[in-house]
Amino acid sequence: MRRIFSFAAVLLLAFGAQAQTGRNLPDFAELAERQGQVVVNISTTQIHRNPSAQVFPFDENDPMAELFRHFTPWAIPGIPQEFESRSLGSGFIISADGYILTNAHVVEGADEVTVRLNDKREYRAKTVGSDKRTDVALIKIEASGLPAARLGDPSRLRVGEWVAAIGSPFGFENSITAGIVSAKGRSLPQENYVPFIQTDVAINPGNSGGPLFNMNGEVVGINSQIYSRSGGYMGLSFAIPIDVAMDIQNQLRSSGKVSRGRMGVVIQEVTKELAESFGLEKPMGAIVNSVEKGGPAEAAGIEPGDVILRFDGKPIASSADLPRIVASSRPGSRVRVLVWRKGAQRELTLTVGEVKEERHVAQRQSKSPRAGQQANRLGLIVSELTEEQCKQLQVSGGLLVEDIRGNVARADLRPGDVILALINRGVRTEIKSVDQFNKLLSQFGRAANVTLLVRRGDMQTFITIRGIGD
Catalytic residues: 105, 135, 208
Catalogue the E-assigned strands of 94-174: 99-102, 112-116, 122-131, 136-140, 162-167
Specify the DSSP class assigned to residue 256.
Answer: S
How far is the C-alpha of 465 from the C-alpha of 459, rounded, in Å? 19
Measured at the CA of 385, the angle between CA 380 and CA 388, to 5 degrees, comes to: 150
How far is the C-alpha of 11 from the C-alpha of 7, rounded, in Å? 6
How far is the C-alpha of 289 from the C-alpha of 351, rounded, in Å? 20
Question: Across the strands, what pairs with 91?
Answer: 40
130 in Cβ contact with 42 (< 8 Å): no
CB burial of residue 231 (10 Å; 0-12, 13-18, 19+): exposed
φ, ψ dihedrals at 267, nearest 5°: -125, 170
Task: Classify strands 74-75 and 54-55 as parallel, antiparallel or unpaired.
Answer: parallel
299 in Cβ contact with 351 (< 8 Å): yes
φ, ψ dihedrals at 289, nearest 5°: -80, -45
61 in Cβ contact with 25 (< 8 Å): no
How far is the C-alpha of 391 from the C-alpha of 398, rounded, in Å? 12
How far is the C-alpha of 340 from the C-alpha of 347, rounded, in Å? 9
Measured torsion, CA atoms of residues 395, 399, 401, 403, in degrees rounded to the nearest 10: 160
If DSSP codes are grouped into helix, strand and coil, which group holds residue 437? helix
88 in Cβ contact with 60 (< 8 Å): no
How far is the C-alpha of 452 from the C-alpha of 470, rounded, in Å? 18
Task: Classify strands 307-311 and 334-341 as parallel, antiparallel or unpaired.
Answer: antiparallel
Residues 6+ apart with CB under 8 A from 383: 370, 399, 400, 402, 434
How far is the C-alpha of 329 from the C-alpha of 131, rounded, in Å? 17
Q: Maximum distance among all alpha carbons in the chain?
A: 102
251 in Cβ contact with 275 (< 8 Å): no
